[in-house]
Structures are given as C-alpha cells and as structure tokens.
Structure 1
Amino acid sequence: MKILIDFFPILLFFGAYKVYDIYVGTAVLMGATVLQMALIYGIDRKLQAMHKITLVLILLFGTLTLVLQDDRFIKWKPTVLYAAMSIALAIAIWAFHKNFLKLLLGSQLELPDAVWHRLNVAWVVYTAFMAAINSYVVLNFSTEAWVSFKLWGYAFPLVFLVGQGIYIAPHIQGDDADKVAEKEGTP
C-alpha cells in the first residue's frame, strides 16, 4: 500500500496532463501531494523532512506555474529538489563530517560507519545525476516528453533503491533484519 501512496500523485498528474494540459496536471499534482502527505501523516503520525520539503516545493513551484501560466516552474522543481539534496548531503559529509543518512536512519538500521559513508556518497551522486538528467530533459525536449520522462523516469529511483537494499543486506544484523522486514510488512 505504501508504494501506491508514493506513486499516486505522479500517476494522477500524468492522467490529468494527458486528458487536459500541464496546468490542470499541476493543480492535480498539488492536490494529490497534499492528500499523499495527509495519508503518510495519518499512517506514521509524522512527516519526514524530505516529505515536508517535497510538499513545500510542489506547492511553491506549482503555484508559480499556475499563477504565471509558465510550465517551466513545475518542470524545474525536480532539478531544484535533487540539486539541493546533493549539495546538502555533500556539504554535510565533507565539510561538517556529519552523515545525514545515518542521522535520519541510524535509529532504524545499524550499519558500520564505512557503509553509512558509502551510502551517503551514493546518494550525493544519485541526486546529482537526477538533477542533471531532469535539467537535460527540460532544456532539450518538449513538455510532452518531460511528462513522459517524469512517469517512466521513476525507474531510476526504483533501481537505485533496490541496488541500495542489495548493498546493505549483508551488513544488516539479525535484529535489524527483523525490524526492516517488519517495517516492510514481510514475515
């Protein structure tokens, strides 16, 4: 069910865009994201920082798109989000010697510091890649192509997350493996 909650805003956006246009799609995306966050809050009783940032950026860039009738704002939102994440993670790890991933997830998952460091670097590279690829599509392709990329581009995070899971699996201790399985709903 959680995966459905994660993907329904983009699916609704895609459908509204195909039936109407980018502006109706943007309004639907904004409403669906507010509903998504309400559902996540109802289930978890909290929103993670990433949820809050995503919500604010979608509402901000969506509002600019609708008010100014300029689709460039909603198309650049992913680039801004991913670039900000990449820069923040890089500065935290290399300038301040703080690992945000470990700070956020360390209470749920016990991993060696070297693994946390590699995961953080992987996230820096991944988010920089996602910012770059979104920028490339925005600058070189039509809005129609960008919307299709947004839908089919979800393969990138899925592949990245599966790869990340495969990488950390050997490092998960017995109790942590049980916690992860319980959290994901597997026995």
Structure 2
Amino acid sequence: MKQLIDFIPLLLFFVVYKLEPRSLDLAGHALQIGGIYSATAVLILSSLVVYGLLLVRQRRLEKGQWLTLAACLLFGGMTLTFHSETFLMWKAPVVNWLFALAFLGSHFIGDRPLIQRMIGHAIRLDAVRWTRLNVAWILFFLVCGFANLYVAFHYPAFWVDFKVFGSLALTLLFLVGQGVYLARHLQPSEANLKE
C-alpha cells in the first residue's frame, strides 16, 4: 500500500500534464493549467502534501521517500526556475541510479545486503541468495534508470507516459518475478504455527 501512496503525486502530475493548456482566473490571478510546468508545480505540491501527511501520521519517512521528495523538489524546482523540462527528465534516472548505488553500497557497508535489511524479517534465505537478490535490485534500478533516460531523450513525446506507466509496469513485472523466486522462502506466520 505504501508504494501506491508514493504514486499519487506522479499520477496527479500525469493528469495535469495531459490537460489541454488553458488559463484559469483564480482570485483575480491568471493561473495556467495543463502542460509540463503546471504539472511540475502539482508534482511538487502533491509530493509535499503526501509525504508531509505520511511524516505526521508515521512520525518518520523511509530513506527512499526522503530521496524521492528531495529529487522532486530539486529537479522540479529547477524545471520551474529555468523553464526547462530537461531537469525533470533527469529526475527518474538519477533517483533510480541512487537507489542502485544504495543497494550496491550495502555489499560493502554494514553486515547485510540492503534487501535483507528490508525484508529479512519475513523471508529466510542463505547469504548467497540474499546477495543474488540484492544484485537483482541493483540491476533493476540501473535498467530502469537507463530506460527512463533513453525514452526521455529519444522519444520526448512519450517520456511522461513511460515515466508513469512504463516504470510502473517494469516495477510490477520485477516484483512478480521476485515474488515467484521468493515464494518458497516465506516464513510461516505465528498463527499458522499454532494451528
């Protein structure tokens, strides 16, 4: 469910981006709606609202959520400041590569791979399988980053569609593949042990 909440700002960005650009009068001020710049403003505002509410409700954000919010503010802010969508086109590749770097770094920093720290409470694996799974995540984030970059700069008319639906599809496919691989390693719940 948490991952779906993370997609709310992206979906709002997509909806506003696809609107036919028009000017709205709001309290005597002309407000542009539709297109990349108003969509970027909506992305920034909705990210602040969503992550702000999560921070208030949970009293913390995960590191990945902080990274996503910071990248949104940085790349979105630069897009609006310099009036160039190129900055926003770099957001998804950079965030994916930073996630890949975090997973890679966990092989050298700490006592366990990052994926084991994240889901090790639910799954029993040997060290070799944890390493393989962590490497799979590294490769996944690298591929997603390069795919986003390729589409953004070779097919700019479709980069927003790919950013929303292509990235989501890649993520779902990867998670299904990972689920199939891990299915036999799930620990039984306490309730099942008592039956």
Q: Deviations over 1:108-142 (max 9, x none)?
A: 32422333212101101100000110111122112
- Are the equivalent residues in 1 in contact too, given 2:115–2:134 (CA < 8 A)? yes
More helix by share: 1
2:25 aligns to what? none
Q: Do the aligned partners of 1:75 and 1:138 also contact (CA within 8 Å) in 2?
A: yes
Give the aligned partner of residue 99 of structure 1: 113
Q: Does 1:57 align with 2:50?
A: no
1:30-53, Cα deviation, whole Å (9 max, x unpaired): 111122213433453321110011
Q: Percent identity?
A: 37
Alignment partner for residue 171 of structure 2, among 157, 161, 176? 157
Structure 1, unpaired ranges of 5+: 179-187
Corresponding residue of 1:87: 101
Asked if the contact 1:14/1:147 (under 8 Å) is kept, the reply is yes
RMSD: 2.1
Per-residue Cα deviation, 1:130-187 (whole angstroms, up to 9, x for no partner): 0110111122112x31111112211111111122122212101112897xxxxxxxxx
Q: Deviations over 1:19-77 (max 9, x none)?
A: 11111111111111122213433453321110011101101111011001011111101
CA distance in 2, matches of 1:150, 1:163: 21
Would you say 1:48 and 2:90 are equivalent positions? no
Report the equivalent of 2:7.
Answer: 7
User: What secondary structure is seen at the aligned counterpart in 2 of 1:174?
Assistant: coil
Q: Which ranges of structure 2 fall in alignment gaps of 5 or more residues?
A: 20-33
Higher relative contact order (CA 8 A, sep 6+): 1
Change (3 A) 1:4 1:87: closer
Between Structure 1 and Structure 2, the one with more strand by share is 2
- The answer to whether residue 147 in structure 2 is matched with residue 128 in structure 1 is no
Selected match of 2:159 from 125, 132, 146: 146
Higher Cα radius of gyration: 2
2:17 corresponds in structure 1 to 17
CA contact (8 A) 1:115 1:168 kept: no
Whichever residue aligns with residue 55 of structure 2, its letter is Y
* TM score, norm. by length of structure 1: 0.84
What's the TM-score, normalizing by structure 2? 0.80
Deviates more, 1:113-122 or 1:128-137: 113-122
Q: Distance in 2 between matches of 1:177 and 1:164?
A: 25
Whether the 8 Å CA contact 1:86–1:125 is kept in 2: the answer is yes
- SS of aligned partner of 2:189: helix
User: Number of residue pairs matched?
Assistant: 175
